Structure 1
Amino acid sequence: ILVVHPSVPAKTLKEFVALAKQKPGALNYASSGVGSTLHLTGELLKKRAGFDMVHVAYKGAGPAIAGLLGGETQVMVGAVPSTIAYATAGRLRALATTGAKRHKVTAEIPTVAESGYPGFEVNWWFALLVPGATPKSIAERIRNEALKALQHADVQTTVVRMGLDPETSTQAELAARIKRETGVWAGVIKEAGIRAE
């Protein structure tokens, strides 16, 4: 979810991009560290929307949010669970979500794609992986048990509250997703000149 400090006059992502274009490099965006998903998402947004802002790397999401709340930075792309309460309380302003579609927890907030940047999609996702040498029967049992767990109402509620939409895939589908996203993020890293610290 893209959130801004209340001192930023933009009420929409389009207004924010226009502001950033008027003042190249004057806005600072917080991330949880160099190479983090938050950092890379900020770089991808800059590239797609054609504006510049300065990256400020913190040592974790908590310090990054504190920096944004304190006005050290003006914008951040953060996880729903760590930012939505501040947006709801008016301490931050939510401009857009980064997924392909609106999420149940943030249904009133438009996506980046809906805000004028079609095809922009960054999803927070998790996968259950096992070592390559794991026997197929054991890997299948682990997958089946995980699928059963996802059917429990309390697990579904917790996952949705975390800002995630439970979905399943085959091993081949997951491998294809990892390959596709590795290509996207490798391009962002190369173009932005990001180096490990």
Structure 2
Amino acid sequence: MKGLHRIAVPVVLATLLSPLLAQAQAYPSKPVRVIVVFPPGGSNDVTARIVFAKLPQIMGQQFIIDNRGGASGTIGATVVAKSPPDGYTVMVQSTTHIANAYAYKGKLQYDTLGDFIGVTPLARQVGMLVVHPSLPVKSIKDLVALAKKRPGQINYGSAGLGSYVHLNMVMFISMTQTKMTHVAYKGGGPLSIAMISGEVQTTISTIGSVFNHIKSGKMRPLGVTSPQRVSQFPNVPAIGDSVPGFDFTAWVGSFVPAGTPKAIVDSLNAGLKKALADPDVSKKLSSLTLDPMYMTPEEFATRLKSDLERYGKLMTAIGMN
């Protein structure tokens, strides 16, 4: 009887697993829905369209963009979390996904990490610390010195409480032990208007948001939030050169529902890796001040956990955790 049990168990397991293995080997065998959790036109949407446009020739099926915007991406994320874990529903979301875990604490219909598998980031967004030209500073060290000389007298703007812009400034102020006054606006557009008018004197915003204003001389760049300089502004140093350890970049990433077979996740990851390595994709993303960003699912999982911890500390600092 023991011998029969030894034979029966592998047979049963093989019977149960064979449909999943066959499904993974055939993936994708039909069009894939790509849910972008923000409206058309933003960096998440444009990134998704640029990258996933390459997958039909790489993976042999259409990847159809489906915008499900609203509530900072939580509406679309809920749809994905409740979708079958078969690889045919993919989510494109940004670092906002992590911030939402705290901003919507107790209100989400999904677990930020537990209900999703991160396939790979798609693009990196770098921030730029800018000041109004009237502010008598030409470097990060100048700004820190002035802020210490005039505690609370320099106004900094954000695109909203808990936004990427806000948290960047919170970290900068904490690491430089300075004091500035926060003014929150309803989005990047109003923030840019306030910066140009001089209503606020400084902010850290994504490069894409301030690119034209820097070129026109309406804002003065002091430093980027990445560890190294960026190709779009090679003469602008990293904030970390003056504030050791400062590194705060955002990402646009791809996810599938938890429970999706590893073979399917790996297949999709491999397809996206090829797409991100395509010179045409790199050129198009660069024109939008975005950098292609690839990780294995395991590397992305580590980054997500790290970001969740970092955002938790920053949200606590501003009373949102």
Match of 1:113 in 2: 240
Percent of residue pairs bearing the same amino acid type = 35
CA distance in 2, matches of 1:191, 1:18: 23
Matched, 1:14 2:141: yes
Shift of 1:134: 2.2
User: Which residue of the partner structure matches residue 260 of structure 2?
Assistant: 134
Aligned to 2:288: 162
Structure 1 contact 30–58 (Cα < 8 Å) conserved: yes
Contact 1:81 1:161 in 2 (8 A): no
Counterpart check, 1:85 vs 2:227: no
Q: SS where residue 183 of structure 2 aligns?
A: strand
What TM-score results when the alignment is normalised by the length of structure 1? 0.93
Give the equivalent residue in structure 2 for 1:122: 248
2:190 maps to a residue whose letter is P
Q: What amino acid maps onto 2:154 in structure 1?
A: L
Q: Residues 137-195 of structure 1: CA distance to partner in whole angstroms, max 9, x if unpaired?
A: 33223222222221222210122233333232111111111111211221122123246
Q: Output the CA distance in 1 between the equivalents of 2:208 and 2:234.
A: 14
How many residue pairs were aligned?
A: 194
- Bigger proportion of residues as strand: 2
Structure 2: distance between partners of 1:91 and 1:7: 10
User: Which portions of structure 1, spanning 4 or more consecutive aligned residues, are displaced by more than 3 angstroms?
Assistant: none
Per-residue Cα deviation, 1:93-140 (whole angstroms, up to 9, x for no partner):
0000010111111211001111x2111001121221111132333322
Higher Rg: 2
The answer for the alignment partner of 2:188 in structure 1 is: 61
Q: Secondary structure at the match of 1:19?
A: helix
Which secondary structure does the structure 2 equivalent of 1:128 belong to? strand
Partner of 1:192: 318
Q: Is 182-191 or 44-53 further displaced after alignment? A: 182-191
Retained in 1: the 8 A contact 2:154–2:181? Answer: yes
In structure 2, the residue matched to 1:35 is 162
Structure 2: gaps (5+ residues): 1-127
Structure 1 unaligned runs (5+)?
Answer: none
8 Å contact from structure 1 (residues 124, 164) kept in 2 = no
Question: Which residue identity is paired with 2:280?
Answer: D
- The yes-or-no answer on 1:98 pairing with 2:225 is yes
